[in-house]
Amino acid sequence: MTSVAADAAESITFKSITIRSEKIGDREIDITEGVSNIDIYEHIDKPHLTAAITFMDSQDVIASARIGGGERIEIVLQSTREGSDSEPVSKIFYLDTIITSSKLGDNTEFFVLHLIEDIGFISSLQNINKAYSDNPSNILKGIATSFLGKTLVSTENTQKKMKLIVPNLTPIETMAWIKNMSCTTEGYPFYLLSNLVSDELNFVDLKTLLSAPVLNPEEPFSYSEATMPTGGPLSTSHRRVIKGYTFKDTDNLLSLIKKGLVGAEYRYLNPTKAEDNHYTFDVQKDVVDKIPETQYHFNNEYMVKGKSFNAYSSRTITQVGSTEAYDKGSSYHQSDKDHYKLNTINRAVDHLLKNNPLTITVNGVDFLDGTSHHTIGRKIAVLFMRNTAPEDTDYYYDNRKSGDFLIFSAKHSFDRETYTTSLTCLKISDGDIT
């Protein structure tokens, strides 16, 4: 196979990496030439990015400017792949921690700096103790604008209206708290995320993500040493070669049983009205049969004493909900039995989907053109061959690791010669593989 360096040569450029801080006045410190590596992390469950950079300091930047945390670092990158109409990608981070440093000689020191996206740092400086009354989308939009200076884009605005008092949380903690109680009318969970290309925050439901088209239906990312890619080192066939993969921490069914997400009884008590909102949860009936757009890696044919796992009430979970806290409208924890059950379905779908992750490492140039977002929350086609000799079968594909996948997290790794992306993906269907 072609080497990583050859595949990604000159596909990315570090346009500028600069440090700013009020304590150094109006001065801007350019450290572009000293940075050798950048890792940027996106995650579908996090509304901010994180990053790490390696920096060779031979100009006494860290000591003379007394860099130690809280400085703003702007990173500007751009794809230079031939034929691409790329735009620069700019992100502002704050220095979180100097992870390590070591002297490489009398006049040079090596630093690894950990960064957090600006909204993550700014959020940690603020505290919300305030009442809200609206649907989740509108509450989140108001918080994003007022406290973080960000626009939030939402996919659905039909969630149930809620009233709540935020109990001394940061803006991002508040948004995550609200997001965790939000779901569509069918029970699909919502995700609140930030991505590398866009400056907006996205509040998006899983159904919308699953209904979007696959990015690469004609050219799957493929892991096959028997198939040599054709064309130049940055041709599509070369870029879609999987350079490495991991498939671990999968199919942990026991943990789902212990969380009450396979078969369980739920009770939400209303002490004021002496009501017991009681329901049973069966993952087969309530999730697999009703929400079939994805693969859940659960099979009701597994049995103990002739009884399917989901038919057991493995846990009894009782909670006391708030009752009539407001004259008009429900509080954060107040609802009816149907909505309580939707919250359980919401949690089950999320946990089941994440129960079978595949991480692949590929050439990164498909994921940073600067004009559109192609990583977390997007769908890709992946192809692996079966663990059997071709002459022994007329079916060549590994159905467990092949098909359409939803990108759950991404690690963008840049250096002066290469750009690779490690994608943690969740299988949602067999796609076009037959």
- Who's near 366: CB < 8 A, 6+ residues apart? 215, 216, 239, 240, 374
Q: How confident is the model at residue 1 (pLDDT cuts 50, 70, 90)?
A: very low
Q: How confident is the model at residue 111 (pLDDT cuts 50, 70, 90)?
A: very high
- Indicate the burial class of 99 (C-beta count within 10 angstroms; 0-12, 13-18, 19 or more): exposed
Q: How confident is the model at residue 339 (pLDDT cuts 50, 70, 90)?
A: confident
pLDDT in the model for residue 393: 64
Estimate to the nearest angstrom the gap between the alpha carbon of 421 and the chain centroid. 14
Q: Which of 98-102, 224-228, 234-238, 388-392 has the lowest mean pLDDT?
A: 224-228
Which of these, 117, 111, 41, 39, lies nearest to 73 by C-alpha position?
117
pLDDT in the model for residue 392: 66
Higher pLDDT, 217 or 75: 75
pLDDT in the model for residue 3: 40
> How far is the C-alpha of 126 from the C-alpha of 117, rounded, in Å?
15
* pLDDT tens for each residue of 64-88: 999 988 999 999 999 887 656 788 9
Give ∠ CA 213-10-408 in degrees, rounded to 5: 30
Which of these, 130, 188, 132, 131, lies nearest to 159 by C-alpha position?
188
Q: Mean pLDDT, the chain, as a whole number?
A: 86
> How far is the C-alpha of 147 from the C-alpha of 152, rounded, in Å?
12
Does the pLDDT value for residue 175 go beyond 70?
Answer: yes
pLDDT in the model for residue 79: 85
Q: How confident is the model at residue 48 (pLDDT cuts 50, 70, 90)?
A: very high
- Who's near 75: CB < 8 A, 6+ residues apart? 14, 16, 17, 38, 40, 51, 53, 90, 91, 93
Token reading at 398: 């590994």
Estimate to the nearest angstrom the gap between the alpha carbon of 69 and the chain centroid. 26
Does the pLDDT value for residue 137 go beyond 90?
Answer: yes
* pLDDT tens for each residue of 351-380: 888 888 999 999 998 888 888 899 999 999
Tell me the DSSP string of 77-134. EEE--TT-----EEEEEEEEEEEEEEEEETTEEEEEEEEEEHHHHHHHT--B--EEEE
**Nearest-10 crossing angle of helices 136-143, 171-180:** 170
> How far is the C-alpha of 178 from the C-alpha of 131, rounded, in Å?
13
Higher pLDDT, 356 or 200: 200
pLDDT in the model for residue 225: 60
> How far is the C-alpha of 406 from the C-alpha of 383, rounded, in Å?
14
pLDDT in the model for residue 361: 95
Which whole number is the average pLDDT over 6-20? 76
Q: How confident is the model at residue 275 (pLDDT cuts 50, 70, 90)?
A: confident
Give the rounded percent of residues in the chain with a pLDDT score beyond 70. 86
The β-bridge partners of 336 are none
pLDDT in the model for residue 301: 86
Q: How confident is the model at residue 237 (pLDDT cuts 50, 70, 90)?
A: low
Please tell me the total number of residues recorded for the chain in this structure: 434
Does the pLDDT value for residue 234 go beyond 60?
Answer: no
